[in-house]
């Protein structure tokens, strides 16, 4: 039977890939997971000679089984084009003389890795709508910890038949991230600040998705909700591609031969990016160690070390805000696998999580979880990592990537592993110029300095030119000023849609 998508929380009938993309979340509140992970007999030499777009097609067609080849190629061509500032789309950069490689996922429109998936999601979604005879306008409802919001807005801007509403924690994103969002162009874009943190925004958005009264009300007005968050399978699948691309890039440079194992380190928040790497491993690509890097919000580190997930802890605001998350939604997909694809067991754990904020895996689940090792970095260690990599290699990484690079160092020290290691580099350092500069030049005081002045300073000391995406934000007028309390999110949606 062709690969389909089923819920992590019940054994309701599986749906097609296009339907899973349209719906975002399953009716029972679970996440869609593929009924199997495809494991073809890969021809590495062939994959190695493919362009990013060709490789994307080879991987994605395994998962998006009800899209025709033409449809899928069309989506890929529209997504991975000159919006990216390099024809490699996701180039790999080796730290000279080391076995460490940075997979740069920040060459898209908003200079962060979420562009990798959000450049293609709108096309997958409008294609999915056509395939399923959807007449309603699709309303994308998204909670963001910073980067998703802008990348989703950029992806959906003026895409016919769609509107997008983005909620962000008013005091939980960098001034630059906020400016990127509130200057967003497009007649179908809405940006709302909330007085609360990312988890508050995400919880409220999930509640709206699961609210039958709301669904009926907007349905009457000709709308239906969908999600651009990393829970959407249409985001997860495109993310698998770049791990395979990194693997064959290492082959191309001669760092590895076909079939050699590598390690992968991913700076993790909502667990989407690392789950894609896990799926790549399940597809047969030889990832030996998969390392989940956390910042001081180390709920995942504790989980992988102890088997107990416990969100009951203070929320720490760090210099890697896109990882400041206490409920990592995509972890549910791994738990489901660990539970032996047992939806009932998975549902029980997640109902416990929503009730008590905690759950513990059973012994039989621990085998699967062994595939992933947790490490974390303190703020100090993160800054130290940025500084030492800049001093030694004149290579600049952002704070999120630095958490992963620090975790990588700890892993190597602890295990003595010398395998080539790919670190997912998730944002351009220009996006977090203040923190990056503070790390590189600790004796200077940047307080009170404008973000754009710091961006220019970073450009000067690093010799890298300021990305075009930053220049656009510098001059754009503010278009979005709405701020609501965390209890006001549902009302804001009604108001925006006029229902």
112 is a site residue for ligand PLP (CB under 6 A)? yes
* CA distance to 201, 245, 442, 451, per residue, from 205 (Å): 6, 33, 39, 30
Minimum separation from the CB atom of position 139 to ligand PLP (A): 22
The correct pick among 427, 454, 458, 489 for binding ligand PLP (CB under 6 A) is 427
Task: Select from 199-207, 262-270, 371-379, 436-444 the region that touches ligand PLP (CB under 6 A).
Answer: 262-270
Minimum separation from the CB atom of position 115 to ligand PLP (A): 10
Among the options 6, 114, 281, 298, which is catalytic? 114
Q: Which two tokens stand for residue 263?
A: 């390690």
Nearer of residues 75 and 323 to ligand PLP, judged by Cβ:
323
Phi, psi of 387 (to 5 degrees): -65, -45
Nearer of residues 270 and 462 to ligand PLP, judged by Cβ:
270
The correct pick among 15, 111, 244, 323 for binding ligand PLP (CB under 6 A) is 323
Report whether 150 contacts 109 (CB < 8 A).
no
HEC-encoded secondary structure of 144-163: CCCHHHHHHHHHHCCCCCEE
Q: Which two tokens stand for residue 216?
A: 């009926």
Task: Select from 116-124, 155-163, 208-216, 267-275 the region that touches ligand PLP (CB under 6 A).
Answer: 267-275
Report DSSP letters for 229-282, one per residue: STTSHHHHHHHHHHHHHHHHHHHHHTSS-TT--EEEEEE-SSSHHHHHHHHHHH
Minimum separation from the CB atom of position 389 to ligand PLP (A): 16
Minimum separation from the CB atom of position 147 to ligand PLP (A): 3
Nearer of residues 379 and 495 to ligand PLP, judged by Cβ:
379
Q: Which of residues 221-260 bind ligand PLP (CB under 6 A)?
A: 230
Task: Select from 170-178, 214-222, 272-280, 305-313 the region that touches ligand PLP (CB under 6 A).
Answer: 272-280
Residue 100 and residue 418: Cα distance in Å, rounded? 9
* CA distance to 19, 91, 128, per residue, from 16 (Å): 5, 32, 10
Nearer of residues 126 and 426 to ligand PLP, judged by Cβ:
426
Active site residue 114: yes
114 is a site residue for ligand PLP (CB under 6 A)? yes
268 is a site residue for ligand PLP (CB under 6 A)? yes
Q: Which two tokens stand for residue 10?
A: 């019940």
473 is a site residue for ligand PLP (CB under 6 A)? no
Report whether 170 contacts 483 (CB < 8 A).
yes
Minimum separation from the CB atom of position 11 to ligand PLP (A): 27
267 is a site residue for ligand PLP (CB under 6 A)? yes
Output b/e per residue, 451-482; b: 16+ Cβ within 10 A: bbebbebbbeebeeebbebbeebeeeeeebeb
Residue 62 and residue 18: Cα distance in Å, rounded? 13
Nearer of residues 109 and 400 to ligand PLP, judged by Cβ:
400
Q: Residue 62: CB partners within 8 Å, gap ≥ 6?
A: 3, 38, 40, 283
Q: Residue 134: CB partners within 8 Å, gap ≥ 6?
A: 22, 128, 224
Nearer of residues 125 and 423 to ligand PLP, judged by Cβ:
423
Residue 139 sits at the vertex; the CA angle it makes with 136 and 143, to the nearest 5 degrees, is: 160
Minimum separation from the CB atom of position 44 to ligand PLP (A): 26
322 is a site residue for ligand PLP (CB under 6 A)? yes
Report whether 269 contacts 295 (CB < 8 A).
no
Q: Which of residues 276-305 bind ligand PLP (CB under 6 A)?
A: none
Minimum separation from the CB atom of position 430 to ligand PLP (A): 12
Minimum separation from the CB atom of position 425 to ligand PLP (A): 9
434 is a site residue for ligand PLP (CB under 6 A)? no
269 is a site residue for ligand PLP (CB under 6 A)? yes
- Alpha helices in 49-184, H assignment, sequence order: 52-63, 69-79, 114-118, 121-131, 147-156, 175-182
Site residues for ligand PLP per CB under 6 A: 112-114, 147, 230, 267-274, 322-323, 400, 426-427
Question: Which residues belong to the active site?
Answer: 114
């Amino acid at each position: 039977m062709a690969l389909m998508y089923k819920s992590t929380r019940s054994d309701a009938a599986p749906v097609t890939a296009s339907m899973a993309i349209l719906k975002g979340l399953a009716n029972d509140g679970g996440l869609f997971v593929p009924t199997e992970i495809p494991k073809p007999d890969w021809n590495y030499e062939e994959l190695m000679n493919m362009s990013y777009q060709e490789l994307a097609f080879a991987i994605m067609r395994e998962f998006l089984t009800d899209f025709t080849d033409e449809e899928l190629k069309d989506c890929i061509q529209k997504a991975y084009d000159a919006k990216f500032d390099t024809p490699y789309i996701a180039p790999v950069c080796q730290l000279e003389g080391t076995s460490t490689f940075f997979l740069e996922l920040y060459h898209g429109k908003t200079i962060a890795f979420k562009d990798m998936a959000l450049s293609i999601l709108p096309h997958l979604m409008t294609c999915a709508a056509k395939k399923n005879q959807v007449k309603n306008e699709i309303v994308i409802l998204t909670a963001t910890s910073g980067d998703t919001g802008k990348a989703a807005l950029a992806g959906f801007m003026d895409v016919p038949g769609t509107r997008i509403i983005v909620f962000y924690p008013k005091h939980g994103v960098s001034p630059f991230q906020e400016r990127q969002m509130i200057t967003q162009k497009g007649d179908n874009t809405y940006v709302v600040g909330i007085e609360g943190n990312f988890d508050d925004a995400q919880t409220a958005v999930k509640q709206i998705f699961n609210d039958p009264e709301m669904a009926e009300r907007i349905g009457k007005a000709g709308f239906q909700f969908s999600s651009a968050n990393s829970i959407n399978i249409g985001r997860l699948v495109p993310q698998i591609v770049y791990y395979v691309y990194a693997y064959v890039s290492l082959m191309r440079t001669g760092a590895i031969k076909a079939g050699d194992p590598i390690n992968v380190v991913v700076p993790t928040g909502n667990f989407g990016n690392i789950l894609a790497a896990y799926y790549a491993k399940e597809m047969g690509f030889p990832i030996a160690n998969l390392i989940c890097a956390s910042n001081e919000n180390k709920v995942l580190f504790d989980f992988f070390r102890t088997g107990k997930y416990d969100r009951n802890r203070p929320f720490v605001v760090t210099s890697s805000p896109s990882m400041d998350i206490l409920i990592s939604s995509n972890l549910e997909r791994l738990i489901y696998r660990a539970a032996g694809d047992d939806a009932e067991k998975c549902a029980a754990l997640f109902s416990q999580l929503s009730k008590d904020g905690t759950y513990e895996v059973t012994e039989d689940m621990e085998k699967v979880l062994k595939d992933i090792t947790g490490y974390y970095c303190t703020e100090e260690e993160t800054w130290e990592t940025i500084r030492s990599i800049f001093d030694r290699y004149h290579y600049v990484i952002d704070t999120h990537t630095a958490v992963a690079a620090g975790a990588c160092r700890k892993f190597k020290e602890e295990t003595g592993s010398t395998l080539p290691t790919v670190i997912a580099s998730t944002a351009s350092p220009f996006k977090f110029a203040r923190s990056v500069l503070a790390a590189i030049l600790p004796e200077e005081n940047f307080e009170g300095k404008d973000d754009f002045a710091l961006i220019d300073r970073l450009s000067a000391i690093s010799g890298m030119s300021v990305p075009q995406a930053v220049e656009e934000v510098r001059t754009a007028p503010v278009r979005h000023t709405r701020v609501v309390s965390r209890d006001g999110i549902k009302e804001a949606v009604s108001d925006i849609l006029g229902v």
